[in-house]
Structure 1
Amino acid sequence: MKRSVVEMATPAGTPIGTALAALAAEDPHRPAVTTSAGTLTRRDFEDRTNRLARAYVEEGVTPDSFVTILLPTGASFLEAVVATWKAGATPQPVSHRLPERELREIIELADPSLVVGADLPDRISAPAGWSGADGFSSAPLPPMVASSLKAPTSGGSTGRPKLIVSTEPATAESLRSFAALVRLQPDGTVLSTGPLSHNGPLFTDVAALLLGCHVVVMERFDAEQALALVDRHGVDWMYAVPTMLRRTTDLPQDLLAATDTSSLRTVITMAAACSPALRQSCLDLFGPDVMLELYAATEAHAVTLVDGHGWLERPGSVGRPVVGEIEVRGPDGAPRPSGEVGKVRRRQVREESLTAAIDPAGDVGLR
């Protein structure tokens, strides 16, 4: 579809705000985000994030600073992230359920210009439900591109919290390349089932918005409700970690048979190991063409993908690297041959992009 508003790119790429403004101008009444509270159109989402970005700047957000976001999962979380990019800053998402000590350590490490979702006496902050954006203009902001797309905390490390600061700029191209890798399609309908403080749900949602998709957000996962939302909205792409898949495949057979999931083209899983038994249950329910598994996306030093056919051909495999390099090394640091046990070493190839991992037909080396 031809865009009615030209996306003006900076040397780093197209600002995320510019890309979303083009989509809002093209089809302002198309649904953008749906939650249990209702639906925001593209124009609603554009106007709200423009006002919020101006309010953030007024509060002291500066280009390339971090904005810590710890809101509950919902439309307001996505608005805060997009407003941060529009202000030229980098979102630093964390769970709103973090213990106070851990949150303090993260904030001390990140030193954000603003904390969204908490009322902290020693930090510039905007608590949940903050109305500070009221009265600000909803007009587009000057194009801004933060040098880092994101700065999530590490979910698998020990000791003090660590930030994973992206080396990719906050551009539409960065996220659209990821979208192509995980089979998101323009103008589709996406079901977001996980906490938006987590890397997978958050950045697949924003990538989907940049493709003009309608994103249906579940504030809390429920397997039966998820299938009902797939049926109601004609969802074609769904995120589900293995625990969610287990709860779904364990539903009564009569309920599964009565729910129409034929709209689904992709069900993607990540964030934990998917057991052989669960893989088979997913294949039985959704089929090999629909299933897709992603490994190591948060750090993105090296990323692998495998689809349902790969599951069948190589049981236990997480696929082949589509970004970066992966080796298995022994105690001496030397690479181990196939079939031997060792430590996994992942290496980022700096000149490699997600776009380069995708062939012109849109396929990736999954098996």
Structure 2
Amino acid sequence: SPKLTRSELDMIIETVKPRLVVGGESAAATQLSAGVDPGAEFSTEAIESRIPACWKAITSGGSTGRPKVILTHVAGTTDPQRASYALQQARDIILNPGPLYHNAAFSSAHQCLFAGGQVVNMERFDAERSLQLIQRHRVQYTMMVPTMMSRIWHLPAEVRESYDLSSLRTVLHLGAPCPTWLKERWIEWLGPERIVEAYAGTEGVGATSISGTEWLQHKGSVGRAAGGAEMRVLDADGRECAAGVVGEIYFRPPEHRRGNFSYLGASAKQSGDWVSLGDLGHVDEAGYLYLADRRTDVVISGGVNIYPAEVENALGRHPDVRSCVVIGLPDDDLGNRAHAIVQLADEARNRIDAEALAEFLKTHLVRYKIPRSYEFVSAELRDDAGKARRLQLREERMAALAVTAAENPPK
């Protein structure tokens, strides 16, 4: 990401240990700054042409606090007749509204080009601009995160409905949990056959998918295992969980794709050929998966597990909530409490308060899951890839609490 701080970039450089860094400022051993003549110390001989063993190396979103790089062990060659990505078709015109440092956007855009298609790439996401581009270029496929879908839906109805989206065959959304109310609105707007959801990781070990038609029968689900991969949910002792019981999600890729990834800066959590991406969830009787949260994000309050994604999904159902992130903060009584950071729609900032949100949540969540504290912000909480820096948000609030405690010592 071009938005990385110097410290974040340095952590990636430390992890990758590159031979040379060109441009920018970093702690790399060999650095060639932008605009500087390299001089005679570098050879002018042509570099030998090589095919890389890994066609891409994507950095993680940093949600764990330390970066890792995910290497895809697939050679850097392609067959244009076979290139495809998640429901794309050969020679599609696609809209890529996401940042190219995000794996899904990077892979989707490149595979489209490899297959002879056209990519309409947005420099930055803008809700109305995305509709303009779909209409102008007769886009057939786009991939979005729920943040983008929410921003489009919060456009005035007369604006949203003024564009011709009849060319659009597929809207694939992924990258973050999609609030139920938002998914329902998009299905009503464009029809269930055009809305598809996927859950997967950059590692490529497995994925689930669900059509809008299926989702109406399994609301909240991210689908069943797809693409030849197998999936199961295991408890802390490695036993398979019964339907409805939350556990850790594991995938086993098809045999020809096993061993196709590795980490720099981390190690995979595996059980034989089964690989975990660190997410929690449960399946229903029909094998449809429902996400809970990453294990590191769980808030243990009064000895009970609270999954932030579940609370965020409920908060997102409120029509005036534009975005939200739930974190755990220390609590003298409960050990930790769920704290909601909320971005309201502009017109709602003077009429919606913590009490109103807590009252709204009473019809959607059991009492212990309702946040004990609320904070209202105007800044965007998620980036264009739909990712929230949950750890960073928590650290900032922990630092503020420490300052307050120092200024007001116990008597």
**Equivalent position to 2:189, from 277, 280, 285:** 285
User: Per-residue deviation at 1:329?
Assistant: 1.2
Match 2:102 to one of 198, 218, 223:
198
TM-score, normalised to structure 2, is: 0.56
The number of aligned residues is 252
Residue 328 of structure 1 is aligned with which of 233, 239, 259?
233
Deviations 1:12-37 (A, max 9, x none): xxxxxxxxxxxxxxxxxxxxxxxxxx
**After superposition, where does 1:245-324 map in structure 2 within 5 Å?**
245-323=149-227, 324=229
Deviations 1:51-85, CA, capped at 9 Å, x for gaps? xxxxxxxxxxxxxxxxxxxxxxxxxxxxxxxxxxx
- SS of 1:172 mapped into structure 2: coil
Decide whether the 8 Å contact of 1:310 with 1:366 is kept in 2.
no
Structure 1 residues 175, 278: CA separation in 2 closer, same or farther (over 3 Å shift)?
farther
- CA deviation string 1:318-363 (max 9, x = no partner): 1111143221112221001212222222333442499xxxxxxxxx
Which of 238, 241, 248 is matched with 2:145 structurally? 241
Relative contact order (alpha carbons < 8 A, sep ≥ 6): 1 or 2 greater? 1
**Higher strand fraction (1 or 2):** 2
Structure with the largest fraction of helix:
1
Find the residue that maps to 2:149 and give its secondary structure.
helix
Output the CA distance in 1 between the equivalents of 2:4 and 2:72. 22
Quote the Cα distance in structure 1 between the aligned partners of 2:255 and 2:62: 23
Residue 339 (structure 1) aligned to one of 240, 244, 264: 244
Residues of 1 paired with 2:190 and 2:112: CA distance? 21
Percentage identity across aligned positions?
A: 37
Distance 1:233 1:350 in 2: 40
TM-score (norm 1): 0.62
How far 1:213 sits from its partner (Å)?
A: 1.4
Structure of greater Rg: 2
Instruction: State yes or no: 1:184 paired with 2:91.
Output: no
Gaps of 5+ in 2: 39-46, 261-286, 290-411
Question: What amino acid is aligned across from residue 178 of structure 2 in structure 1?
Answer: C
Q: Which residue of 2 aligns with 1:162?
A: 68
Is the partner of 1:152 in helix, strand or coil? strand
Quote the offset at 1:284 in angstroms: 1.5
Aligned to 1:101: 7
Q: Does 1:123 align with 2:123?
A: no
RMSD of aligned residue pairs (Cα, Å) = 3.0
Q: Give the Å deviation of 1:146.
A: 1.2
AA aligned opposite 1:335? E
Mark the CA change 1:176 to 1:318 in structure 2 (over 3 Å): closer, same or farther.
farther
Superposed displacement of residue 268, structure 1: 1.1
CA deviation digits over 1:106-152, x for unaligned, max 9?
1121122343552557434464x8999xxxxxxxx997431112111
